[in-house]
Structure 1
């Protein structure tokens, strides 16, 4: 007696569907309730949830948090798809902070209906794959008319800055031998004079016969 309800001429797809539905009873009900929740869905089922939510860019090698965030942001991206906000939101889901410069805002103005983007790649390895991922995501979210002309990856470093300074000062001098200053005496002036007179008397002896 066969344990299958399908006829012998059933196709491979029909048999696969039978095998799949036969296991539904083994799936816990609480898991079924989480299938459409990007933050609670079993990680193995995230690719199917991404497909169901029309996620434009998907990579199974992304960290789990990134995959869940991309699915969660899918609705908001599609709600404004074709706008500047859609491009920024799509790249923000991948962890990129993006600045979009449209052609009239460029310096000098670029070709009409073109734009370029500057992406903060802090925390990401900048490789050819990084640029390709950014380009695919931006092209999927932009409008049909606009053309992406350039991608600039901007690295930002956050760190404490320490500054120090010191000052050395001094004076020079020449030491010369000490020289007394000129002495000036002031006061009243007195003048005086004296006369001394001396008389000399010579006494000779008397001569004989005088």
Structure 2
């Protein structure tokens, strides 16, 4: 009696998965399987396989984890409008690029028919030959077959706080002289007083004899 729960027409891949799960002896929790198709919860080691399943056109294992998850999450919206200007912008936005696409009739002067060029703002990272290669591959994978990419202009931008400071120095000069009292004026009534002292002197002599 077969212990397999798969139907007789199961594919080799399905039977291989059944074997792997059975050999795990319960160590493969069902809740882990439920996370595999979600770019936000899929284990980081399995992200390349999820990207392949979601038909991600451009992939680099060297990208930060947040970028890899964002590229997978945006893959559906890119494929929904693939071959349009919006698809090119969305694909590059997933990599962190702010893109302006100039088609041939909007260029100054007008360019060759059915051509376009890109002006890309690169935030917070250096611009290298790898940057141009990544932008080119991503744009070519998302554009329509008729249009031809003729140029890429990448501009590095850094967001940072700018601090401005200013100070003012001011002063006054003065001369310090020795202290001199100011004149004091007192007003009020004036009173005058006087006294006279008189002294009389009397001399008494002895009486003379025979007088």
TM-score tier after normalising by the smaller chain length: 0.5 to 0.7
Q: Distance in 1 between matches of 2:35 and 2:159?
A: 38
Structure 1 stretch displaced more, 33-42 or 149-158: 149-158
Q: Where do 1:121-160 residues align within 5 Å?
A: 121-159=122-160, 160=162
Q: Deviation at 1:20?
A: 2.7
Partner residue of 1:40? 41
Do residues 23 (structure 1) and 36 (structure 2) align? Answer: no
For the residue of structure 1 that corresponds to 2:101, the secondary structure is strand
For the residue of structure 2 that corresponds to 1:118, the secondary structure is strand
Stretches of structure 2 lacking an aligned partner (at least 5 in a row):
1-11, 169-211
Partner residue of 1:54? 55
Could you tell me the TM-score, scaled by structure 2's length? Answer: 0.67
Q: Deviation at 1:26?
A: 2.2
Do residues 104 (structure 1) and 105 (structure 2) align? Answer: yes
Q: Deviation at 1:164?
A: 6.8
* Cα distance change of structure 1 residues 161 and 150 upon mapping to structure 2, 3 Å threshold: farther
Structure 1 stretch displaced more, 84-93 or 19-28: 19-28
Q: Distance in 2 between matches of 1:19 and 1:59?
A: 31
CA RMSD of superposed structures (Å):
2.4
Q: Distance in 2 between matches of 1:143 and 1:23?
A: 47
Could you tell me the TM-score, scaled by structure 1's length? Answer: 0.67
Q: Where do 1:187-198 residues align within 5 Å?
A: none
Q: Distance in 2 between matches of 1:79 and 1:69?
A: 16
Q: Distance in 2 between matches of 1:22 and 1:110?
A: 62
Asked if 1 retains the 8 angstrom alpha-carbon contact of 2:125 and 2:156, the reply is: no
Query: What whole-Å deviation, never above 9, does each CA across 1:96-126 have from its counterpart, x for those lacking one?
Result: 0000000001000000000000110121221
Q: Where do 1:71-110 residues align within 5 Å?
A: 71-110=72-111
Aligned residues: 154
For the residue of structure 2 that corresponds to 1:155, the secondary structure is strand
Q: Distance in 2 between matches of 1:136 and 1:48?
A: 20
Query: What whole-Å deviation, never above 9, does each CA across 1:24-80 have from its counterpart, x for those lacking one?
Result: 542111111111000000101101100000000001110000000000000000000
Q: Distance in 1 between matches of 2:61 and 2:142?
A: 20
For the residue of structure 2 that corresponds to 1:35, the secondary structure is coil
* Cα distance change of structure 1 residues 32 and 157 upon mapping to structure 2, 3 Å threshold: closer
Stretches of structure 1 lacking an aligned partner (at least 5 in a row):
1-12, 167-210
